[in-house]
Chain A
Amino acid sequence: MVKELFKGGVHPEDKKNYTASTPIEKMPLPQKVVIPMQQHIGAPCELLADVEKIEKGTLVKAGQKLGDNQGFVSAPVHSSISGTVTDIGMYNHPLGVKINAVTIESDGKDEWDESLQPGGNLDELSAEDIRKIVREAGIVGLGGASFPAHVKLSPPEDKPIDVVIINGSECEPYLTGDHRVMLEKPEEILFGLKAMIKALGAERGIIGIEDNKPDALEVMEKMVTEEDNIQVCPLHTKYPQGAEKMLIYATTGRVVPAEGALPLEVGVVNHNVGTAVAVARAIREGKPLVERVITVTGSGIKEPKNLQVRLGTLAAELLDYCGGLKESTAKLVVGGPMMGLAQPTSEIPVIKGTSGILALTKEDVHLVESSPCIRCAKCVDACPVQLMPTLIAQVSEFGDYKKAEKLYALDCFECGCCSYVCPSKIPLTQWIRIAKAEIMKRRKQQGK
């Protein structure tokens, strides 16, 4: 079925065997949760201090809204457990910064906010209703980028959407959460996809799954046999197949224009399988996004697991639940090994975009000195968007950001393929990241 294969990419060892056949386990309620006011791309939430009297000592219920922002590109945050607010203030965030967050001590009762009501029958809901439910539920892209989902469901009128793609490729090594969700919750994924198709007025849906997950392909195929406008599309297993542009190209043959254009330019909207499940739950159960599936894995974890956890659960508590960390653990990463963020501490909360917690032992952490570039061009051949990583890194090192911009540095989406393949172990992605930040800074200064 699949004809198109993007150029470039790499084949890292997938290491999914740690957890690929481990069913999703529901983690017991955490003792406490920390809910950051920003878990999405866009305007941060403001604490509902006045209306809802969210302050120290307030009793909150699971699903109760804690913060919101009326800006369009934003998503509210909710309490994920019932209990007492014990602290409001700056707290560690997986992005490596401190962000205003609400700490809630669990009362162990897991009482839900009574005002939460199912949205009703999908046939009776209008597109606007669905968007509203999705927004109020605080749903963002669960694949990692955390873009507010309702925004993606509200395309401008002159950009009609005909295809909704559900991303089940899960191309990051180690992670298996999406894989398990497809095996265990296929019905919810389908429902979520149908809701998205309806909200967008799209014609058809495609579920893209890498062919290293034959069982998930089979389950989803079976699920959609009776759907005329929904098909499952097997994808070649190659990192970064799950990247938006690569996925759209593989499933539809459409090329999203460069320089920051969105998929809607080519009539496509893309959502992760987890996002589809969240949409289904918001509509059918009225539940806001307060829990998600994450993979706790890696050579440093004693008992790797796929867990369904409440948002705000601290990584430290998760690690405890998975038997703790091995002595030799040297690196803790939130997300996958290719694009995830290394953490200085385990005292960080799971947020909406957290797909996994990865602990790597010393042997798996490649700390080697880089040597001069031998111009092997393996990074050039690996770049999925056909950039020249070695040249961009070189000019970035010398501070020539104008030249970096001419070499299309801004089109890099930091997949990490170039650094991965470099035999000289040059941190190419990092140099390009620096160039990107500097170019953006200059553009801002020039008021562009």
Chain B
Amino acid sequence: MIVISEKLIVSSSPHIRTSESVQSIMFDVLIALFPAALMAVLLFGYRALMIMVLSMVVAMLVEALWLKNRNILGDGSAAVTGLLLAMTLPPVVPWWVVVLGSASAIIIGKQVFGGIGYNIFNPALVGRAILVVSWGGHMAGDIWPMPQPFALTADISAVTGATVLAAPQEALAFSLPEIFIGNIAGSLGETSSLALLIGGIWLAYRGHIDLRIPGGFIGTVFVLGTIFGGGFYENYLLTGLFHVLAGGVMIGAIFMATDMVTTPVTPAGRLIFGIGCGLFTMLIRLWGTYPEGVSFAILMMNAVTPIIDNFTIPQQFGGVKKSA
């Protein structure tokens, strides 16, 4: 009888682990962003590609430098942050604004809090918020370049207009299917609801997003848009739908409000978070100073995430509420 008693690893159960890792999740998010990135290039040409690549490279470099990590790719989260930030930028943004935004997303949005997992606010949105507040002139004027589909090398600033949210009279010039596909003025990655939806389906299929968040978010925007939108777009219901498809709601609901680190972990909390995002978005859109409110709505909800978690701890299986 051979007794084996050396070199055996003794550890606590379970003894098997899923092959999923932080890295594989980040890779899945990049895959999910691919349709929207592709759309950005098709609509806004080579500049879109340059902005996205620049933003990703800066984010990865800054993170690697900050962490003194030789592996530039790291866990892939910096690439995701860089790409997400790029998607929220206007197509004609100057290169140095991209660099500043991407660097601040990583440093101020994430690393000063202790790095991945510890940040309170969505890093990409922190980067965007800093740019909007500090270099607003380059971020969102009244004049936006119009997309020129498939004209990859065209000068996109030649034809300009307003975003459909900024000027509702502009909105009427576009049909909802057109807005859905994304052939409208707007930030790089936000215009094509179709592409974003494809990415969202992938993320849901891979189990990386909880539909309570986009569901709560989009549902709230639709309901409030229908009731308070003024029905300017043909009728009340279509106006609600218009509010969902126009602007940043889709990218916000599918990719920003579902950021794992900065959103609640409790199931009920996730629904509340989504609804809160929708509520603040519409408050800003309808009665605020900015035409669009998605990014600030999400940042506000990020801030209250710990409180939401605290108040929504689920009852355990078979448990009964104790009267306090």
Shortest CB distance A158–B (Å): 20
Would A331 and B265 count as touching, CB distance under 8 A?
no
Would B318 and A256 count as touching, CB distance under 8 A?
yes
Q: Does A106 count as interface, using CB distance less than 8 angstroms?
A: no
Which one, B3, B265, B317, contacts A391 given CB within 8 A?
B265
Would B17 and A345 count as touching, CB distance under 8 A?
no
Would B5 and A420 count as touching, CB distance under 8 A?
no
- For residue A427, which residues in chain B have a CB less than 8 angstroms away from its CB? 11-12
Shortest CB distance B79–A (Å): 15
Would A346 and B3 count as touching, CB distance under 8 A?
yes
Which one, A7, A367, A375, contacts B265 given CB within 8 A?
A375
Would A419 and B17 count as touching, CB distance under 8 A?
yes
Could you tell me the distance between the alpha carbons of A425 and B309 in the complex, rounded to whole angstroms?
22
Contact with B along A419-445 (1 / 0, CB 8 A): 111111101011001000000000000
Among A7, A259, A373, the one with the most B-chain Cβ atoms within 10 Å of its Cβ is A373
Tell which of B51-59, B114-122, B231-239 binds the partner: B114-122
Would B118 and A372 count as touching, CB distance under 8 A?
yes
- For residue B267, which residues in chain A have a CB less than 8 angstroms away from its CB? 380-381
Given A245-B317, A344-B5, A385-B316, A337 and B261 contact (CB-CB distance below 8 Å): no
Q: Does A340 count as interface, using CB distance less than 8 angstroms?
A: yes
Could you tell me the distance between the alpha carbons of A385 and B264 in the complex, rounded to whole angstroms?
19
Shortest CB distance A339–B (Å): 5
Would B320 and A257 count as touching, CB distance under 8 A?
yes
Could you tell me the distance between the alpha carbons of A314 and B13 in the complex, rounded to whole angstroms?
22
Would A360 and B316 count as touching, CB distance under 8 A?
no
Q: Is the interface of A mostly helix, strand, loop or mixed?
A: loop
Which one, A173, A372, A378, contacts B207 given CB within 8 A?
A378
Would A342 and B260 count as touching, CB distance under 8 A?
no
Tell which of A197-205, A218-226, A318-326 binds the partner: A318-326
Could you tell me the distance between the alpha carbons of A96 and B117 in the complex, rounded to whole angstroms?
35
- Total interface residues in chain B, CB < 8 Å: 49
- Total interface residues in chain A, CB < 8 Å: 78
Q: Does A12 count as interface, using CB distance less than 8 angstroms?
A: yes
- For residue B266, which residues in chain A have a CB less than 8 angstroms away from its CB? 377, 380, 388
Q: Does B20 count as interface, using CB distance less than 8 angstroms?
A: yes
Which one, A245, A332, A384, contacts B8 given CB within 8 A?
A332
Tell which of B21-29, B183-191, B219-227, B284-292 binds the partner: B21-29
CB-CB contacts below 8 Å: B303-324 with A: 309, 313-320
Among B20, B75, B270, B317, the one with the most A-chain Cβ atoms within 10 Å of its Cβ is B317
Tell which of A53-61, A280-288, A407-415 binds the partner: A407-415
Q: Does B158 count as interface, using CB distance less than 8 angstroms?
A: no
Would B25 and A423 count as touching, CB distance under 8 A?
yes
Contact with A along B66-91 (1 / 0, CB 8 A): 00000000010000000000000000
CB-CB contacts below 8 Å: A1-43 with B: 6-7, 10, 12-13, 31
Would B260 and A377 count as touching, CB distance under 8 A?
yes
Could you tell me the distance between the alpha carbons of A366 and B15 in the complex, rounded to whole angstroms?
7
Would B22 and A423 count as touching, CB distance under 8 A?
yes
Q: Does A329 count as interface, using CB distance less than 8 angstroms?
A: yes
Would A375 and B261 count as touching, CB distance under 8 A?
yes
Shortest CB distance A370–B (Å): 10
Would A346 and B316 count as touching, CB distance under 8 A?
no
Could you tell me the distance between the alpha carbons of A416 and B15 in the complex, rounded to whole angstroms?
9
Shortest CB distance A392–B (Å): 10
Would B16 and A366 count as touching, CB distance under 8 A?
yes
Q: Does A90 count as interface, using CB distance less than 8 angstroms?
A: no
Would B319 and A408 count as touching, CB distance under 8 A?
yes
Would B319 and A374 count as touching, CB distance under 8 A?
no
- For residue B210, which residues in chain A have a CB less than 8 angstroms away from its CB? 377, 381
Shortest CB distance A266–B (Å): 9
Q: Does B1 count as interface, using CB distance less than 8 angstroms?
A: yes
Could you tell me the distance between the alpha carbons of A319 and B5 in the complex, rounded to whole angstroms?
13
Q: Does B4 count as interface, using CB distance less than 8 angstroms?
A: yes
Given A342-B8, A343-B8, A374-B117, A337 and B14 contact (CB-CB distance below 8 Å): yes
Q: Does B134 count as interface, using CB distance less than 8 angstroms?
A: no
Q: Does A446 count as interface, using CB distance less than 8 angstroms?
A: no
Given A342-B8, A343-B8, A345-B4, A377 and B265 contact (CB-CB distance below 8 Å): yes
Would A414 and B13 count as touching, CB distance under 8 A?
yes
Shortest CB distance B128–A (Å): 21
A385 — nearest CB in chain B belongs to which residue?
Answer: B317
Q: Which 4 A-B pairs have the closest CB atoms?
A: A416-B14, A372-B117, A345-B5, A385-B317
Can you spell out 19 A-B residue pairs with CB atoms less than 8 angstroms apart? A12-B16, A257-B318, A258-B317, A316-B1, A319-B2, A329-B8, A337-B13, A342-B9, A342-B10, A342-B12, A347-B3, A365-B15, A371-B75, A371-B116, A375-B261, A411-B317, A416-B13, A419-B13, A425-B17
